[in-house]
A = this chain, B = another copy of it.
């Protein structure tokens, strides 16, 4: 048993590149379908932001701070840093009497073209709110205020991150073998891909308890505000729009992608072995079509999976395809 061939790139009528990976689909009872090795240990990276948002709700911090679904969508987001996101995160943080310096995510140029252009052409440096994870960190700050922890909320033994670990292990059903430091400086806990899909299946089958209510609110926030979760043209946003809010999906760095499908009671997790985003986007698209929740004819399927690849003069040079047997 090894990783599965998943996504191929063809040129001139022959395969040029190949992405291998693992994918697991779970319902509330366990694995219902898998490719590759479900026990593969992965870092979920940003794909588990909805898990990291659970303590924000379950602690009562979100309600105490009056957070809306828009805030919750941002807490689950890897956003583009467009004005839409920046204004919302700024309002959130300043509303708590805090500022950019209270964040610990670091700064990077935003993906949003207009905002990036504005920064570059005005010789302005990006701030931490531009970081694609600033919504998650605003959630950390909100939880931290509620818990009364010190300012260094990303420290692995800080109450905020202890809550993250406990929640993560509860929803994956596994003791995490350890953590890595994520791009945004927060700990990111490792799990098997089966554990990540198990967590997503729990989000797809929420109970009536406190956790179930929190899961339902987060999934609704994501699928009702797809533009807040990523941005125009991004896979998360466009896939959720294409499925008209029936499914919540989330990308993670190094080739991770997850899906929560309440209609079917299914959760799904994908890891591309080589970490390529183009392949994780294509693989989750293929699985969503396979499960019947995304129409094969929808333009978004051409965009992220089997559409033609064109060059600088618009000539078709090849195409992306699913490998034989996947999905």
Which residues of A are in contact with B by a Cβ distance under 8 Å?
9, 11-14, 16-20, 41-43, 104-108, 117, 120-121, 131, 177-185, 188, 190, 254-255, 273-276, 279, 311-318
Contact = CB atoms under 8 A, between A and B. Distances in A.
A180 B12 contact: yes
Contacts of A106: 311-314
A109 to B, nearest CB: 10
A11 B186 CA distance: 13
Contacts of A276: 274-276
A312 B20 contact: no
Contacts of A279: 274
Contact of A312 (B185, B311, B313, B316): B185
A75 to B, nearest CB: 19
B181 A9 contact: no
A120 B178 CA distance: 44
Given A14-B177, A185-B312, 16 more contacts: A12-B179, A12-B190, A13-B180, A17-B273, A18-B273, A18-B274, A106-B311, A117-B120, A120-B121, A131-B312, A180-B317, A180-B318, A181-B311, A181-B317, A185-B311, A274-B276
B19 A254 contact: no
Contacts of A120: 117, 120-121
A41 B14 CA distance: 9
A275 B274 CA distance: 9
A116 to B, nearest CB: 9
A181 to B, nearest CB: 5
Contact of A190 (B9, B14, B20): B14
B17 A275 contact: yes
Contact of A254 (B9, B20, B185, B275): B9
B254 A17 contact: yes
Nearest to A104: B313
Contacts of A18: 273-274
A112 to B, nearest CB: 14
B317 A182 contact: yes
A201 B41 CA distance: 41
Contacts of A255: 17
B274 A11 contact: no
A202 to B, nearest CB: 24
Contacts of A20: 20, 273-274
A17 B180 contact: no
Contacts of A185: 311-313, 315
A184 B311 CA distance: 7
29 contacts: A9-B275, A11-B188, A13-B178, A14-B177, A14-B180, A16-B43, A16-B180, A16-B275, A17-B273, A18-B273, A20-B273, A105-B312, A106-B311, A106-B314, A107-B312, A120-B120, A120-B121, A180-B317, A181-B315, A182-B311, A182-B317, A183-B311, A184-B311, A185-B311, A185-B312, A185-B313, A274-B276, A275-B276, A276-B276
